[in-house]
Amino acid sequence: MDTILQLINTIVNTEPFRAILYIVGMIIFVALNAAYLVLMERKVAGHVQLRPGPTENGPFGILQPMADGLKLMTKQLLIPDGVDPILFRIAPVLVMIPAIMGFVTIPFSDSIAARNMDIGILVVFAFATINVMGLLLGAWGSRNKYAVISAARVVSQNIAFEIPMLVIVVTMIMISGSMNLHTIVSQQSGGFWNWNLLNFTASPLMPAAFLILFTCMLAETNRAPFDIVEGESELVAGPFIEYSSMGFGLFFMGEYANIVIGCSLTTILFLGGWGCPFGLFPGIHWFLIKLYLLIFTVIWIRWTFPRTTFYGLLNLSWKVLIPISFVNLLITSAMLKVF
Amino acid sequence: MSAFLERQTDETFVLNLGPQHPATHGVLRVKLLMDGEYILAAEPVLGYIHRMHEKMGENRTWIQYLPNTPRLDYLHALAYNQIYVNAVERAAGIEVPERAEYIRVITVELNRVSSHLVWFGAFVMDLGGFTPLLYAFDDREHILDLLEELTGSRLTYCYFRFGGVSCDIDDNFITGTKIFIKRMRERLKMYRALVTGNIILIKRIKDNGPISEEMCRKYGATGPVARGSNINFDVRKHEPYSVYPEFDFDVPVYSECDSMARYMVRMDEIEQSLRIIEQALEKLPDGPFLLPKAPKVVKPPKGDYYQAVEAARGSLGMRIVSDGTNNCYRLKWRSPTFSNLSLFGEACQGMLLPDALALMGSLDLVIPEIDR
Amino acid sequence: MIDYLKEIFYGLKSLFVGLGITIKYFFKPIVTVQYPHETLEMYPKYRGHIELTRNEETGQPKCIVCGMCQKACPSVCISLDGEKPEGAKGKVLTSFILDFTKCSLCGLCVEVCPADAIVFSKRYNLASRNRDEYIIDLLKRLEDKKR
């Protein structure tokens, strides 16, 4: 699989073709993921709750996303009176485009990466933050006070959880010595004892750092148990209440695309990227296996726990996650100095 | 409405938790005066499902009113059957054979377990955890299957008759109930691990919605709402009826007065109901299940009668005024949820909206019972 | 400080316990019945709408047209009619209409009938777009069943 793609790469290595190939590939990957992750969520939810989930459309419900997509596209695109014309229309785009752009620097395997930048991590986080702005602009442009209240909450939630996430990422950069995602993964090659998750020579709190990054990733993408946005304002559906049909569809796809980016980052930083746990046959298949195991865990968590309150969420971030991540940073820098 | 209009200033707005709402479990409308995110005042508006059950009692004979009783609170329907049948039997002097009384207690307690299971699932679903709802409904299916095999209906049972019950229980039912009790005890352990011990849920309902003891007494709240606020009153122990004095069970009382206390009271009550069913199955006597000479036409003598029963939601009361004819003159239900809801207006002042919804969930409201 | 760390530790442990329970149920078989493809059989005492029974020897419905069911019904949904043929002792049933839009399945008519002529059927699959389909002609149903 890897060699075939390498062959294709060398044949079509002239710049325009390579870029176009990657653009088309990324968009197809994101679109397929966004569609089929919805199905995966419904099936996992069903089996956790002792029922089968969608089964009518195609065997095991394989064609269900097609039916959902068709339904969303044929609904009427309602634009309420008096909304801000530019902001209302641009907001879903602002949420979707950074999610796709975030895939630019993520290495799926040794040779499959759109661009191998030396500031890879920074690019991903730069794009991820635009997502929050998209939600806020959409809510403001909807001319609905409940949407503005929800969006204000989303912004404060996102800011509160960006801080521990970035502190952990800084810790990992310190350990690897470079921001290039390819280098970070290459340093974890070998068996699973080389993975950053079990890198106790750098810091004894590594598993805790993994948990903190995972939790922050859940909160950034507004997934349960932190889905105040979607569920808690039970009267009003959050910042995208005025959106219908494809506008809502784009927000939804953006959320699942963000989950995929978050899980890929966690795999790359902690779980060794495309490496095999026993060092035998590294390749893109291991990356995908680890990615989908993490996404399964995200869905599994959603259907097990109730929602936290808004103040509980902020308390968790400011009083628990930030102190522990700073302590981890100090310990790591001390141990790196010593060893 | 005028009270609300007086308190409105430039900083506040009125929010309508409308009749259609996923969290109110029925058609309840609550008008909320809010200051940003905080609730300043709340006023429930009732009457969206008023079906004139009390008036229907005046137009039907005593036997014809029986199918109306389970439709008031469909989740604990057999208690409503029991209170009506008990009241008329005491008034008319009809004796009930012992086996029938034991069968009544077994089925009422099974129904109480199923009602608490629905409350449990719906409460945790309001807080955002969707899975325990389906596990609770899986357990409830077993109860419903047992009762369907016995009576023929799954939800609104018209099973009791004046002088006993309408058909006897058989060995199938007894073995099925014993298997169910064993299974339910395992499931209660699972619920404790999955839900009660969960740190997110604990943070959500501990210290949420404090209802003090005097507030309970002021508004007449009964049932798990009062028992979670340190008031030790259970009609089955303090004003016993039927064969309850023969059973040995505890009444759970917690004194923290928050939603966690009300939650724990109901979970403990499930365990106590299972104990009662076990003891009743052991002591079940032989005999007729319906009085052999059950009267075809029931005419209680002239007078005013009252009966109280412990329903899943609180102390249920019924007042019958009879004038000696075939129809009753006046029928009045004392619905426990009505009194429980009336303290919501005062208890939710100053709370955030999601906390107020958690409080409403812990009160266990069934709106058709309020509006009758 | 110790309390803070203890709370974090026990809280985290409770989360993992919860996850363990859900994954255990993920691998168990499903308990639901896929309705149109599989159906359940109703219990013998199940209460569908009422129907008439037939006397095995004479082939006629057992109903003696006494009208007790009509008087006992709280919702006034039974209307029956009979006539007395020449030289016979009792009445013969000519029409028995059940207005199922009002019936509450209480069973008082079944219990009060002196001739055991009414029983509950097992029909639960009664969806329709037309209110007239719920005014059920029970005599006609009995004759259709004979054929």
pLDDT digits (tens, 9 = 90+) for A20-47: 888 888 889 888 888 899 899 999 999 9
Q: What is the DSSP letter of A317?
A: I
Residues of chain B with confidence (pLDDT) below 50: none
Low-confidence winner among A106-115, B108-117, B280-289, C35-44 (lowest mean pLDDT): A106-115
What does the pLDDT read at residue B317?
92
Q: What is the 3-state secondary structure (H, E, C) of B327-353?
A: ECCEEEEECHHHHHHHCHHHHCCCCEH
CB B121 within 8 A of CB B341: no
What does the pLDDT read at residue B24?
61
B172 class by beta-carbon count within 10 Å (0-12 exposed, 13-18 middle, 19+ buried): exposed
In this structure, how many other beta carbons lie within 10 angstroms of the beta carbon of residue C12?
Answer: 13
Asked if C11 reaches chain B (Cβ–Cβ under 8 Å), the answer is yes
Asked if A307 reaches chain B (Cβ–Cβ under 8 Å), the answer is yes
Contacts 24+ apart (CB under 8 A), A37-42: A37/A256, A37/A259, A37/A260, A37/A295, A38/A65, A38/A68, A38/A252, A38/A256, A39/A64, A39/A65, A40/A295, A40/A296, A40/A299, A41/A299, A41/A302
Indicate if the alpha-carbon torsion angle B220, B223, B226, B231 is positive or negative: positive
**CB contact (8 A) between residue C45 and residue B64:** no
CB A258 within 8 A of CB A221: yes
Which chains are within 8 Å of C by 3+ CB pairs? A, B
pLDDT digits (tens, 9 = 90+) for A225-277: 888 777 655 555 677 777 877 778 888 888 889 999 999 999 988 888 887 88
Asked if B286 reaches chain A (Cβ–Cβ under 8 Å), the answer is no
End-to-end CA distance of chain C: 84
What does the pLDDT read at residue A201?
78
pLDDT mean over C93-114: 88
Asked if A60 reaches chain C (Cβ–Cβ under 8 Å), the answer is no
- Tokens representing A275 are 């490496």
The whole-angstrom separation of Cα C97 and Cα C80 is: 6
Report the percent of chain B where pLDDT is more than 70: 97
pLDDT top residue among B255 and A17? B255
Distances, alpha carbon C61 to alpha carbons C93, C107, C118, C119, C136, in Å? 8, 19, 10, 12, 16
End-to-end CA distance of chain A: 40
Scanning every residue of chain B, which has its alpha carbon at the shortest distance from the alpha carbon of A232?
A: B354
Most A CBs within 10 Å, among C5, C30, C34, to test the A interface: C30
Report the percent of chain C where pLDDT is more than 70: 99
Q: What is the DSSP letter of C147?
A: -
End-to-end CA distance of chain B: 23
Which residues does chain B have within 8 Å of residue A51's beta carbon, measured at their own beta carbons?
A: 134
What does the pLDDT read at residue B260?
92
Asked if A303 reaches chain B (Cβ–Cβ under 8 Å), the answer is yes
Label residue A151 by pLDDT band (50, 70, 90): confident
**CB contact (8 A) between residue C31 and residue A44:** no
Asked if A4 reaches chain B (Cβ–Cβ under 8 Å), the answer is no
**Chain B residues interacting with chain C (CB cutoff of 8 angstroms):** 60, 63-68, 71, 131, 135, 138, 141, 148-153, 156, 158, 166-167, 190, 193-195, 197-200, 296
What does the pLDDT read at residue B181?
93
Going from N- to C-terminal start, the domains of chain B cover 53-346
Q: For all residues of chain C together, what is the average pLDDT?
A: 86
Distances, alpha carbon B6 to alpha carbons B17, B69, B343, B352, in Å? 20, 41, 21, 22
**CB contact (8 A) between residue B200 and residue A232:** no
pLDDT mean over A135-143: 84
Spell out the domains of chain C, with CATH numbers in brackets: 50-146 (3.30.70.3270)
SS3 B40: strand
- Tokens representing B134 are 């389906």
Superfamily of domain B53-346: Cytochrome-c3 Hydrogenase, chain B (1.10.645.10)
C60 class by beta-carbon count within 10 Å (0-12 exposed, 13-18 middle, 19+ buried): exposed
Residues shown for chain C = 147
Rounded to a whole number of angstroms, the CA Rg of chain A reads 21
pLDDT digits (tens, 9 = 90+) for A281-314: 777 888 899 999 999 999 999 889 888 888 888 8
pLDDT mean over A74-92: 83
The whole-angstrom separation of Cα B162 and Cα B295 is: 8
At residue C28's C-alpha, the angle toward residues C24 and C32, to 5°, is 130
Between B134, B135, B200, which is nearest A225 by CB? B200
What does the pLDDT read at residue A213?
92
Give this prediction's pTM: 0.90
pLDDT top residue among B43 and A339? B43
**CB contact (8 A) between residue A305 and residue C15:** yes
Going from N- to C-terminal start, the domains of chain A cover 78-338
